[in-house]
Amino acid sequence: MNSILFLIILIPVIEIYLFIKIGAQIGALTTILLIFITAVLGVYYARYEGLNTLKAGFAQLSKQETPAYEVISGATIAFAALLLIIPGFATDVLGFFLIFPFTRKIILNKFSKKFSPKKNTKNNFIDGEFEDIDEHDVK
C-alpha cells in the first residue's frame, strides 16, 4: 500500500480515537472548545513566528546572504498553521512542534541530514584536452 494513502486513512482514525477518548474524559463541549482554542492560538502564534522569520529573511538579504533557512522555516510554519487549523489533537501536537523555534530547528536538522547529498569519495570529473578552432581554420 502506498504510504501517503496509508497516512490519509490513518490520521483521521487516530484523530477520531483521540476525540472519543478525550471527549469521554473532559466532556464533548470542552473538547470542542479545546479544538477551537488550539486552532485560534496556533494561527496567531504562526502569524507571529512567520513575521519573525520574514524579518530574519530580510536581515539575511540586507547582508547579501541567501536566506535559505528562513525560506524553509517559513514553509514549515505555514504547514504547521495548516495542521493547527485541521481539527484534531494529533495534528495540533505536530503543528505546535513545528511552530516553536526550538523544536522546529531540531526537526529541520533531522530532515536536512536525511536528505543531504551523500559524500562521494570518487572524483566525478572527466580529464581531457581541448583545442580552440577559429572560423578560418575550419574552412
18 within some domain: no
Structural domain contains residue 62: yes
Residue 72 belongs to some domain of the structure = yes
45 lies in a domain? yes
Residue 121 has pLDDT above 90, yes or no: no
| Cα–Cα nearest to 46, from 106, 107, 100 | 100
**Residue span of the structural domain in which 69 resides:** 32-112
pLDDT digits (tens, 9 = 90+) for 57-72: 999 999 998 888 899 9
- For residue 21, is it within any domain? no
| Assigned domain for 132 exists | no
Is residue 16 situated within a structural domain?
no
Asked whether residue 124 is assigned to any structural domain, the reply reads no
Instruction: Tell me the pTM.
Output: 0.75
**CA–CA gap between residue 91 and residue 82 (Å, rounded):** 9
Q: Please calculate the CA angle 31-6-22 and round it to the nearest 5 degrees.
A: 15
Residue 15 DSSP symbol: H
Number of domains forming the structure of the chain: 1
